[in-house]
């Protein structure tokens, strides 16, 4: 028995791989293109684990996907592979179209051919789980009800538009060909091994380095924060018991404006690693020009997955953010490794408006 995980060296994917292999002796084939956010250092603890088979490659590489499916005969495919940073999609949307749309198409087509040729029992048990985002639903007004699975798609960035397209492809391959799929749409993840261009790790690392803490616009954009290990447990639950063809929203029930998130990080750092001069890290907060088309609010209604599958998050934002900050303080070697010259060039370009 085996499963194929795509994008398993990225932030969410690597956490899933680590959690899966910590509680299962099933072989896991991990396919990742190792682009900027893919980092094998995250998976260093699995170096001698015979149940972890790493393959460097792209989900858009049809011959490779076909070969892996034929060779390892997985009972499931879990697709994390995606370009996933909104700011990068604004500066260069081509990679997002290629990976998130064309790549998903190639994965679906090759998986369909593999699935159709399986013996009846294996065919019935097979699953493809596609991991997506709440950003496909667009932006919510502050007084609007959270996104349910029935909310219309209204993506507002090249990133979210490309993910919306991939969700539609997954749905179509189920309804047209019968491919046994499941889709999950998650809220903002945070936790260990997060690439330091996203808000929470960026703020932690900039604070410790004495750099400005960049806040887009007025900082009142609201997000629902989901601790990554809670997300991983939800995916395992959906893979095990989700209804075929269904979508499940996965959220943390933790709506917070960005400025509150940053202030919370500063407060915890003031406690855990106080500055020599006694000042607060909050003094480093710096407001910069808002990004184009910045959605004001995302919020996930995660009642369906709780009602049908009995899942709900274990972490509150308070407990999860403290665990996250402690992890970054205790894993400076990982941080130094991932903070390459290319990453620094990107941050300098993206936050050029910081005073």
The residues facing 147 across adjacent strands are 300
Q: How many CB atoms lie within 10 A of CB 94?
A: 10
Residue 239: which residues within 8 A CB-CB, separation 6 or more? 76, 78, 127, 129, 182
**Catalytic, out of 83, 87, 134, 315:** 134
CA distance 57 to 23: 26
| Closest listed residue to residue 25, CA positions, set 44, 7, 51 | 51
Catalytic annotation present for 343: no
Catalytic status, residue 224: no
Exactly one of 32, 87, 114, 159 is catalytic; which is it? 159
H or E element in which residue 291 lies: none
Q: What is the DSSP letter of 101?
A: I
Beta pairing, strands 52-56 & 127-133: unpaired
Whether 134 is catalytic is yes
Triad 202, 204, 206: Cα angle to 5°: 65
Which one, of 202, 210, 192, lies nearest residue 315 by Cα?
Answer: 192
Q: Which residues are catalytic?
A: 134-135, 159
């Amino acid at each position: 028995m085996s499963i194929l995980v795509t994008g398993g060296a990225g932030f969410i994917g690597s956490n899933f791989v680590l959690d899966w292999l910590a509680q299962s002796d099933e072989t896991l084939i991990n396919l990742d293109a190792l682009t900027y956010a893919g980092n094998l250092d995250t998976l260093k603890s699995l170096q001698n684990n015979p149940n972890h088979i790493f393959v460097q490659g792209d989900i858009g590489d049809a011959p490779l996907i076909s070969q892996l499916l034929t060779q390892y005969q997985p009972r499931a495919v879990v697709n994390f592979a995606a370009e996933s940073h909104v700011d990068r999609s604004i500066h260069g949307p081509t990679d997002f179209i290629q990976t998130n749309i064309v790549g998903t198409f190639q994965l679906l087509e090759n998986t369909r051919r593999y699935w159709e040729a399986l013996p009846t029992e294996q065919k019935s048990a097979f699953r493809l789980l596609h991991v997506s985002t709440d950003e496909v639903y667009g932006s919510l007004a502050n007084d609007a009800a959270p996104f349910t699975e029935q909310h219309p798609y209204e993506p507002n960035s090249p990133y979210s538009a490309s993910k919306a397209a991939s969700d539609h492809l997954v749905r179509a391959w189920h309804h047209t060909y019968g491919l046994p799929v499941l889709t999950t749409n998650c809220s903002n993840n945070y936790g260990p091994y997060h690439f330091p261009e996203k808000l929470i790790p960026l703020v932690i690392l900039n604070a410790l380095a004495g750099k400005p803490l960049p806040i887009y616009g007025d900082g009142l954009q609201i997000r629902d924060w989901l601790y990554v290990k809670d997300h991983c447990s939800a995916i395992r639950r959906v893979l095990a018991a989700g209804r075929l063809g269904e979508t499940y929203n996965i959220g943390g029930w933790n709506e917070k404006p960005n400025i509150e998130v940053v202030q919370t990080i500063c407060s915890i750092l003031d406690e855990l690693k106080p500055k020599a001069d006694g000042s607060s890290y909050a003094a480093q907060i710096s407001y910069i020009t808002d990004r184009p088309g910045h959605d004001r609010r995302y919020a996930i209604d995660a009642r369906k997955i709780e009602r049908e599958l009995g899942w709900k998050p274990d972490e509150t934002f308070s407990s999860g953010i403290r665990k996250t900050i402690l992890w970054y303080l205790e894993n400076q070697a990982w941080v130094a490794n991932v903070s390459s010259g290319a990453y620094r060039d990107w941050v300098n370009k993206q936050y050029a408006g910081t005073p």
